[in-house]
Structure 1
């Protein structure tokens, strides 16, 4: 059995759920997974940026890398699907990604990594095909997997294992397109890191007014007043104790609102998911 490192992003993130997922993935892959809980106000935005960052983190190695398995469970809870959105998979430079079909999470990959197609699976079709060919499941066990509410536990690790093993998993191609418009006029805070830096969901050079020495207006949630924040090339260029926009380490040169030596999130009372330049 091929062993591959597994990293999972999930909004099913309480201790019980994490423990069960870790045990099942370890049993199937023979290695302890890294499970990253996404529990903020906007898990879709955090997952989109984090998945992009995970795939980018496998680059610039100067040599070959070990193929990873990345599992993403951030399903839209819009009631559109009878038992949650389907799961899809794709490969990127030898790494396997199995994800909820969530266009907000996946579309940045089309925009910034050129991933234009994924493979959509149907849980029942896949598990029944497995039971008929390579997996030892009774009809009752097939039904249990198909009907479960915790599909990221019972189905997703199986799907990933079967794909790694080269099983003929049934799926249909689905085009993945970049967003028609990027919200450069009103970017969203995707992640707030432990320093209070606010990572945006757009490249810095796409922001109107971003240029070294330019300025962008931020509306503070404390009192609603507009604040002119200067733009800098890097964090070390920002004067200590002052806010600034810089080109951060995430995405492909995505923008960050920072305070050198302080917290931009605290200074402006910002939260994950906030539209940074929206009036309050």
Structure 2
């Protein structure tokens, strides 16, 4: 069995769930995974930006890289699916990604990484194919995994191992839609209080670069009023103690609302998932 590094992004984020997932992934892959909890108010938005950043971080290496497995689990229970949203997979270069079939999570990859299609799996179909072909699974064990609520524990790591091993996992292709014009929201609030937005700075309404007249209007939720914020190229260009909109470190030129030496989230009363701008088509 080849050891493969695994990074898991999941909203099943309590200590018990994280411990079980870490143990199962380590047993299947022979290496301790990096499990990142997505426990904020908008896990889909955080997962979208984090997945984009994670895949982007494998670039600019100057040479070959180690194949990586990325697992993304966001578990909406909207009643549309018999036992939760399906899981899909795709490859980014040599890296394998398995994700909840979520438009919000996958759309930025279509816009900024050129992802056009994913392979959608059915839990029962995959497990029964494995049991009939290469896995030592009894019918009762297959049924237990099909029926479980905790598919990100029992199914996803097993699917990842089989795909990494080149097993003929059954799946159906599905297109990935690009992002349409919509609200621009806070995707992630970092530990400094910088608000990472979910769009490039150049796509913000009225953004004209970093000249002296480049300003955008931001709603201050804490004070319940609109304020004008100047645009800057980078965080070090923002005057100390002042707010600014910069080209941040995430995505492909994605914007950040910052306060140099302070917290934009605190100043503006913003948290993950809050609307900052509205885009029109």
Q: TM over 0.5, yes or no? A: yes
CA deviations 1:193-212 (Å, max 9, x no partner) are: 00000000000011123221
Count the aligned residue pairs. 275
Native 8 Å contact 2:204 2:277 kept in 1: no
SS in 2 for 1:276: strand
CA-CA distance at 1:177 after TM superposition: 1.6
Equivalent runs, 1:97-116 vs 2, <5 Å: 97-116=97-116
The match for 1:193 is 190
So what's the TM-score if we normalise by structure 2? 0.96
The match for 1:239 is 239
Native 8 Å contact 1:75 1:84 kept in 2: yes
The match for 1:61 is 61
Name stretches of at least 5 consecutive residues in structure 1 with no aligned partner: none
Which segments of structure 1 move beyond 4 Å, counting only runs of 4 or more? none
SS in 1 for 2:275: coil
CA-CA distance at 1:77 after TM superposition: 2.4
CA deviations 1:55-102 (Å, max 9, x no partner) are: 000000000000100000013321110100111000001000011111
The match for 2:202 is 205
The change in CA–CA distance for 1:80 and 1:48 in structure 2 (over 3 A counts) is same
CA distance in 2 between counterparts of 1:233 and 1:277 reads 19
SS in 2 for 1:58: coil
CA distance in 2 between counterparts of 1:255 and 1:3 reads 37
CA distance in 2 between counterparts of 1:277 and 1:168 reads 45
The match for 1:251 is 251
Name stretches of at least 5 consecutive residues in structure 2 with no aligned partner: none
CA distance in 2 between counterparts of 1:208 and 1:276 reads 11
What is the alpha-carbon root mean square deviation over aligned residues? Answer: 0.9
